[in-house]
Structure 1
Amino acid sequence: MAGQTDQLVKPGSGRGLLDVYGDRFLLKLLVRKEIKVRYRGSVLGLLWSYVKPLVQFLIYFVALGIFLNLQRGTPNYAIYLFAGIVLVNFFTESLSNATRSIVDNRDLIRKIYLPRELFPVSTVWVSAAHFLPQLLVLIGACLVVGWTPSILQLGAVVLIFGMVAVLATGLGLMFGAVNVYFRDSENIVDMIVMVVTWASPVLYVWSMVERVMGPWFWVYQLNPMTVAVEVFHWAFWEPTLKADQMVADTMPPDLLTVWLPVAMLVTLTVLFLGQLTFRRLAIHFAQEL
C-alpha cells in the first residue's frame, strides 16, 4: 500500500547474538527443553551434576594425589584439584553440547525460522545450570578449610565464569556451524575436550610447566583456559593456605595485570570469529540438514 515504509527483510539476515538477547523468552524455553530432555527417564536427574565431577575428582585425586604423591608438594591439593575440574568441566560440557546443538535440533530448524544462535547459547546456559551446584560444593569445601577471599578474588570468580562462557560460546558457534557441513567437527571437539584438562594446570601446578618450557612459557599462557584455571586457583585455593604454606610460585607473575587481559582479548577474538563463521554458514542450515 502507498505510504507504507516497511521493508522486506532477507530471511536469515539477523543481528547474530543480539537477536538472542531480543528473544530471551525463546532462550528460556530452549534451556528448559534441554534440561528436561537430558534427564528424561533419569532417576537422579540434576544430581548427576554432583556425581560425575565427584567421581572424576576421586579418580584424579587417588591416581595423582596419592599414587604420584602430588598432594605432598601442594597444600590443600583436593581444593586445588576440584577448583580446576569444576571450571574445565563447565567449558568442555558447553563446547561439546554447543557443537552438536544445530544438528540435534535439525527438525526444529527445518520447520521454522528463529535465530540459530539460540541453540548453541542455550546449551551454554544448561551447562551453567550444572556448574552452579558444583561451585556451591567447592565453596563449601573451601569454607571448611578456612577460605578467606578478598573482594577482588570474588570479583575474579565472576569475571572468569563470564570469560569461559564467552569462550565456549565462540568456539561452539564456530564448530556448531561447521558441524552441519562436516561431521568431523565433533571428532575435533572431542580431541579438544580430551586435551584441555591436561593443557591447563588442573592436575599439576603451573611452575612445573615453566621449568620445562623455560622462555617459551608464554606460549602456554596464551591459552585462555590456562589463565582461567590459574585465576580460579588464586581465588579459591590460595585463600585456604596458611602463612607457612604460602610459596612464591602460588600464581604466575603478571597473571592479573598481563595474562588475564590477554586471555580476555583472545576470548573476544574467538567470539568474533565464531559469530562471523556462524552467520556465513547459517544461511543454508535448513537445506544441509
Structure 2
Amino acid sequence: MTEQPGSAASVAGATAELTPAQLAAAHGLDITGRRPTLTSYTRELWSRRHFVVAYATAKLTALYTTAKLGQLWQVVTPLLNALVYYLVFGLLLGTNRGIPNFIAYLCTGVFVFQFTQSAVLSGTRAIADNLTLIRALHFPRACLPIAGTLIQLQQLAIAMLVLVVIVLCTGEPISWYWLLCLPALGLQTLFNGGLALVMARLGARTTDLAQLMPFVIRTWMYTSGVFWSVDALTKSTPGWVQAALQANPALVYISLVRWALIRSTPQLPPHAWPLALGWALLLGCGGYVWFWRAEDRYGRG
C-alpha cells in the first residue's frame, strides 16, 4: 500500500526532516526575549504611548495620595527648596552680590535643575524598581524611564506656573521672550529622557548606583550656576575651565530659561542654542539607541 503525498504520515515525515530552527521559522515562532530591530522597537514603543502617559499619570497621582496636602506638594516642594537655598546662599554666603533680581534668578535655577535631577534619579531606578512588571508583561522597557521623565515634566509644568508668579512679583515684565521657554524646556526634556535611558541601563546592571547618584547630582548642581553666576566666579580661572563649565548642559538649559524670563540676565552667548540642541540630540538619540542595545537583558537573572 503506497503512502499518499498529502497524508498525515507524509506531512509528519517531512516535518521530521526540518531542523528546530527551520520548524520554528515555518510556524512564525521566535526566541523568547530576542531584541527586536531598532525600527520595530521604535514602532512598538510608539504604539504603547497611551500606556506610557497613563502609567506616568497614575504614578504621579499615587505619589501624594498618603500626604494630607496631596497634590499641593508639587507646588510646596520647589518653593521650600528655593527658600532654603536663598537662606543659605543668598543671605549667609552672599552669592547674590552682583546678580540683579536674585530671587527670580535662584528660583529659575532651582526649578529647571530639579527637572533634570529628578529625571536622572527616577531613570536610575526605573528597571530595578519594576522587575515584577518587566518579568510579567511584554512591552518595550524604554517605556519605564520615559514615563519617569514624563512624570517630572508634569511636575515641572506646575513648578513653572509658580515660577511665573515669582518672576512677576519680583518686578519682571511680561514679554514675548517668555515663549522661548517652550523650545528650551522641550530640548531639556529630550536631553533628560535620553539621560534617564542611559541611567536606567546602568542602574539595571549596578543597583548600587542609585545610592551613589545623589552625591553625583549634588556635585553637578554646584557647578551649574544654580546659586551663583558662573561668569563672575570663573574670571580668573583658565580658559579651558571656563569653556567646560559653559558647555555644562544643565547650565545651558538654566541660562536659556533665565534669559527668557528675566530681562536683567546678561546676553546669551551665541553658542547657547546650538549647545542646547546638540546635547538634546546627543543624549536623546544616543541614549535611546544605547538603551535598546541591552533590551534583551533587562529583568534577567
**Greater displacement, 86-95 / 21-30:** 21-30
Choose the corresponding residue for 1:225, options 228, 232, 250: 250
TM-score by length of 1: 0.85
Which aligned runs of 4 or more in structure 1 are off by greater than 6 angstroms? none
**CA displacement at 1:77 relative to structure 2:** 0.6
**Is the CA contact 1:102–1:180 (under 8 Å) kept in the aligned structure 2?**
yes
**CA displacement at 1:32 relative to structure 2:** 2.5
**CA displacement at 1:227 relative to structure 2:** 0.9
Question: Residues of 1 paired with 2:87 and 2:43: CA distance?
Answer: 46
**Greater displacement, 39-48 / 184-193:** 184-193
**Is the CA contact 1:120–1:176 (under 8 Å) kept in the aligned structure 2?**
yes
**CA displacement at 1:8 relative to structure 2:** 5.8
* RMSD value, Cα: 2.3
Residue 193 (structure 2) pairs with residue 169 (structure 1): yes
Percent of pairs identical after alignment?
A: 22
Choose the corresponding residue for 2:290, options 273, 277, 286: 277
Who is 1:73 aligned against?
98
Cα deviation, 1:85-124, whole Å, max 9, x if unaligned, reads 0101111111111111111111111011011111101111
Distance change (3 Å), C-alpha of 1:113 and 1:196? same
**Is the CA contact 1:20–1:115 (under 8 Å) kept in the aligned structure 2?**
yes
Question: Residues of 1 paired with 2:43 and 2:228: CA distance?
Answer: 39
**Aligned pairs (5 A) from 1:1-289:** 11-13=34-36, 15-151=40-176, 153-216=177-240, 217-238=242-263, 241=264, 250-252=266-268, 254=269, 257-288=270-301
Cα deviation, 1:134-165, whole Å, max 9, x if unaligned, reads 110111122233333543x2332111211221
Question: Residues of 1 paired with 2:210 and 2:169: CA distance?
Answer: 40
**Is the CA contact 1:223–1:263 (under 8 Å) kept in the aligned structure 2?**
no
**Greater displacement, 122-131 / 185-194:** 185-194
Q: Which runs of 5+ in 2 are unaligned?
A: 1-25
Who is 2:15 aligned against?
none
**Greater displacement, 140-149 / 130-139:** 140-149
Question: Residues of 2 paired with 1:114 and 1:131: CA distance?
Answer: 27
**Is the CA contact 1:88–1:196 (under 8 Å) kept in the aligned structure 2?**
no
Structure with the larger helix share: 1
Distance change (3 Å), C-alpha of 1:214 and 1:18? farther
**CA displacement at 1:178 relative to structure 2:** 2.0
Distance change (3 Å), C-alpha of 1:184 and 1:214? same
**Is the CA contact 1:50–1:134 (under 8 Å) kept in the aligned structure 2?**
yes
Question: Residues of 1 paired with 2:42 and 2:175: CA distance?
Answer: 34
**Greater displacement, 106-115 / 13-22:** 13-22
Q: How many residues in Structure 1 have an aligned counterpart in Structure 2?
A: 271
Q: Which runs of 5+ in 1 are unaligned?
A: none
**Is the CA contact 2:78–2:111 (under 8 Å) kept in the aligned structure 1?**
yes
CA radius of gyration, larger in? 2
Question: Residues of 2 paired with 1:162 and 1:213: CA distance?
Answer: 32
Question: Residues of 2 paired with 1:12 and 1:35: CA distance?
Answer: 30
Question: Residues of 2 paired with 1:132 and 1:138: CA distance?
Answer: 10
**Is the CA contact 2:64–2:73 (under 8 Å) kept in the aligned structure 1?**
no
Question: Residues of 1 paired with 2:43 and 2:63: CA distance?
Answer: 27
Name the SS for the 2:65 alignment partner.
coil
